[in-house]
Structure 1
Amino acid sequence: MPRPRSLTTADLGNAALAVIDRDGLEGLTMRAVAKELGIATMGLYRYVADRDQLEVLVVDRVLGAMETAPPEGEDWRAMAVVLLARMRSAVAAHLAVVPLILRHRQSSAASLHWMEAMLTVLTDAGFTGRDRVIAQRTVVGFLLGFLQNEHYASITGPGTATIAALSTDDFPLLVQTASQARKMSVDDEFRGGVEIVLRGLSPR
């Protein structure tokens, strides 16, 4: 009887991502990934201990192709925008994995390299100590929040249309804002949000 073929971490990550792309995040199970790979479920445990390890491999698979070196330039805000856009682009084709990026961003090597690059940009701009901590967490917080909105509550989605149709007597500003949002693109929202966040950050 031939020995089972050896699987690489890339094989595992690709199979898990294929399951998520097809069946959603709720479809990611050890059994589903094993089936995708054409092996027995118990055979998968030769490579990973549990679903958590699979999730980290998925995050690395999605972010692994992203350029993580600090961009060149003199304007630190422009450089930060480049890094934020890289992460958004990497996730764009697989928005269902956004919750995994939130959960495993401190375990994924690709995510850690990206954070190191952002810290390099901030440090070169003059952020140190407590201010650097706050600046880093602020830009990361904006990005993760934006990715969640893009996936779950896009301004072009049905939820915004529902809000725009509410009574103006009860929710005048909410209706006005939702109506304006429907005329915008997700790219407009991203660029505008980044500009506001970075405008408010400055090294002491």
Structure 2
Amino acid sequence: MAARRRQGERAGLTADQVLDAAVALAERDGVEKLSMRRLAAEVGVEAMTIYHYVPSKDALLDGIVERVVAEAVRVPPDAADWQAMLVTYAYDLRASLLAHPSVVPLLATRPAVTTATARIVEGILEALGRAGLDPVNGLRLVHALTALVIGQLTTQGDGSDAGDDLAVDQERFPLLSQAVAGGAADPEARFAFAIEALVAGAAPAAGD
């Protein structure tokens, strides 16, 4: 016998589908315009019905953050190469946020503190612990990587750099002009440099 639906629930609708719709709605209209009423209309239920699937607006925002972070961490923590694991995490998080740009400011202001995201971080900390990094510094490293990813995406904008305007005056700013001409403003190269430097700098703390 099929399970009876609670009053107000729609047949065939799941919490995962509601979160998928929330992410899509945030991408289309922006997180700031996301509301429980608009989400309910998006999935075709009455406003109060949506609370059967997501208990509050805060829970909805947490669910969106969880979705993006969980999408980013696809590779199990690898104790044999913890540095590669962290680099993979950073690149996957960046790719996920590039796919969901409207979620970037949400993740920047809302810590990922759900059970699912805690499980992800726990696995990373276990791998870092086997490499000799204690949980305190391990979590600091994860936070630093996450902040670096969010920070670059937040300031990247359309890919332009403030130094580009100054580069035209080579006599006044010769070093800056040389740096920009050499590709220092390229977001891909800048990201790779920052991530590799951050992870390499953590090696002594991990016993390497």
Do Structure 1 and Structure 2 share a fold, with TM-score over 0.5? Answer: yes
CA drift of 1:19 comes to: 0.8
CA contact (8 A) 2:82 2:131 kept: yes
CA drift of 1:77 comes to: 1.5
Equivalent residue number for residue 59 of structure 1: 65
Equivalent residue number for residue 5 of structure 1: 10
Of 31, 40, 58, the residue aligned with 1:25 is 31
| Shift in alpha-carbon separation, 1:44–1:12, aligned structure 2, 3 A | same
For 2:101 and 2:179, the matched residues in 1 are separated by 23
Whichever residue aligns with residue 196 of structure 2, its letter is E
| Residue 149, structure 1, aligned to residue 152, structure 2 | yes
Of 92, 101, 112, the residue aligned with 1:105 is 112
Q: TM-score, normalised by structure 2?
A: 0.76
| Shift in alpha-carbon separation, 1:80–1:22, aligned structure 2, 3 A | same
Superposition pairs of residues 115-130 of structure 1, within 5 angstroms: 115-128=121-134
Q: Which range moved further: 188-197 or 134-143?
A: 134-143
Unaligned ranges ≥5, structure 1: none
CA drift of 1:149 comes to: 2.2
CA drift of 1:165 comes to: 1.3
CA drift of 1:54 comes to: 0.8
For 1:91 and 1:114, the matched residues in 2 are separated by 17
Number of equivalenced pairs: 194
CA contact (8 A) 1:10 1:61 kept: no
Whichever residue aligns with residue 51 of structure 1, its letter is K
Q: Which range moved further: 16-25 or 178-187?
A: 178-187
For residues 39-62 of structure 1, the C-alpha deviation after alignment (integer angstroms, 9 at most, x for no partner) is 222222233232111112212333
Unaligned ranges ≥5, structure 2: 1-6
For 2:142 and 2:111, the matched residues in 1 are separated by 17
CA contact (8 A) 2:90 2:145 kept: no
Secondary structure of the 2:97 match is helix
CA RMSD, Structure 1 to Structure 2 (Å): 3.1
Equivalent residue number for residue 165 of structure 1: 165
For residues 164-204 of structure 1, the C-alpha deviation after alignment (integer angstroms, 9 at most, x for no partner) is 314969x9489548735866543322221111112211225
For 2:156 and 2:74, the matched residues in 1 are separated by 26
CA contact (8 A) 1:30 1:51 kept: yes
| Residue 94, structure 1, aligned to residue 70, structure 2 | no
